[in-house]
Amino acid sequence: MNALIIGAGPAGTSCAIQLLKAGIEVTILDKQHFPRSAPGETLHPGIEPLLKELGVWEEIEEHSFLRHSGIITEFQDSAKLDLYHSEGDWEGFQFPRETFDQLLLNKAITLGAKFYPGTKLIDVVLDSAGIATVITDSRNFNASFFIDASGRNAVLPKKLNIRYQNFSPPLFVHYGYVETEDSSSFPTPRIIWDTNGWLWVSRISEKLVNWNRLYPLNHKIAKNWLPECLQNLKPTGTPNAANVTWRIAENVSHNNYFLIGDAAFTLDPLSSKGVLKAIMSGMMCGYLLGQLKLLKSDISELHSYYNNWMNDWFLKDLAKMKSIYAEKGFQI
């Protein structure tokens, strides 16, 4: 049994580590060369036991990433710190994604994953059991299972005509980075609500602050826009935007494919759990295929379990997101 994983983000590499631990051969391909930058730098504390389970905790500790015990929400004229835990000792992480993603990828490669960077999926060839071959811009790949971890790009659904159900109007988040000399600025991630939407500001390393801006009702933003609270700081890199419309694939797994991470479902960054979901869904997929190998489980039962698990999770988070937006005056 072997698996081909498309995408070396946190979903793909977590899945790879879990599969390799179960004795399943893994090949990972990614269209980019690593280390590569990616948005999503504030991580929920629930990620800590997962990183321990994946065997990367020592490496995480070596980096001494920034930690925070909660998130500050500014709404109307008040600011409130929402702790992850009432005692304040459950801490999330802030870090540059390129460092974090590379660390997970290194672990997968150490465990035996074959990695093909700069390799872009172009097409798939199908047979009666599902995907037979993946065609890339450099070579073809065969495997028993094909795992789409390509993020919001969702390459397999495009090739397999898997539709997504949308649960929001089109939502675009704009993001960028500024440099700061003051290492005490923005120690705690902060969400600032106004009549147009929200702004998320968070320091992600000693010298770098990240901002994200989302207008739920109107996604136009001026070129070179910078949040008022960061105007005296120097922008670095090119500001960008991403489509974060709330959506889930109609079948997150079937035949010999699994969709994990953002390829399976997306909510906007206000959920602050994108990376957590990527890792958990990757690990779950790896665990289920490990059960298939070990116990010769029924694949249709595994698909049914995975589809129900992902759909339940999405619907619960969806309800929470709707209520947060409604509290702030946005009906989505």
Ligand X SMILES: Cc1cc2nc3c(=O)[nH]c(=O)nc-3n(C[C@H](O)[C@H](O)[C@H](O)COP(=O)(O)OP(=O)(O)OC[C@H]3O[C@@H](n4cnc5c(N)ncnc54)[C@H](O)[C@@H]3O)c2cc1C
Which residue ranges make up the site for ligand X (CB under 6 A)? Answer: 6-12, 29-32, 38-43, 120-121, 149-151, 153, 155, 173, 175, 212, 242, 244, 261-262, 269, 272-276, 278
> Cβ closer to ligand X: 106 or 297?
106
Phi-psi region of 84 (alpha: psi -120 to 50; beta: other; left: phi over 0): alpha
Residue (245 or 297) nearer to ligand X, CB: 245
Give the type of residue at 108: A
For the bound state, the minimum distance from the C-beta of residue 212 to ligand X, rounded and expressed in Å, comes to 5
Which ranges constitute the DSSP H helices of the chain?
Answer: 10-21, 47-53, 57-63, 97-110, 155-160, 274-295, 299-327
For residue 226, the minimal CB distance to ligand X (Å) is 15
| Residue 24 or 155 with smaller CB distance to ligand X | 155
Cβ distance to ligand X smaller for residue 131 or 173: 173
Q: Which residue has the tokens 């992480």?
A: 93
With respect to ligand X, which residue has the nearer C-beta, 123 or 296?
A: 123
Query: Residue 29 Cβ, how far from ligand X at the closest point, in Å?
Result: 5
Give 187's DSSP letter: -
C-alpha 20: how far from chain center = 21
Residue type for 204, please?
Answer: I
Residue 85, sorted as left (phi over 0), alpha (psi -120 to 50) or beta, turns out to be: beta
Q: What are phi and psi of 296, to 5 degrees?
A: 50, 40
Could you count the other beta carbons within 10 Å of the beta carbon of residue 113?
Answer: 22
- 3-state DSSP: the chain helix, strand, coil percent, rounded to 5? 35, 30, 35
Please, which residue, 120 or 293, has the CB nearer to ligand X? 120
* CB 209 to ligand X: min, Å: 13
* 145, 129 Cβ separation under 8 angstroms: no
How many Å apart are CA 265 and CA 260, to the nearest integer? Answer: 8
Q: How would you classify residue 46: left for phi > 0, otherwise alpha for psi between -120 and 50, otherwise beta?
A: alpha
The length of the chain is 332
Nearest distance, CB of residue 243 and ligand X, angstroms: 8
Give the residue with the Cβ less far from ligand X, 199 or 233: 199
Give the nearest distance from C-beta 77 to ligand X in angstroms: 26
Minimum Å gap between C-beta 30 and ligand X is: 5
Q: Residue 13 and residue 50: Cα distance in Å, rounded?
A: 13
- CB within 8 Å of 314: residues ≥ 6 apart: 248, 265, 267
Minimum distance of ligand X from residue 241's CB (angstroms) = 8
With respect to ligand X, which residue has the nearer C-beta, 227 or 293?
227
Query: In whole angstroms, how far apart are CA 230 and each of 140, 208, 216, 226, 300?
Result: 47, 11, 22, 7, 52
Nearer to ligand X, 37 or 308 (CB): 37
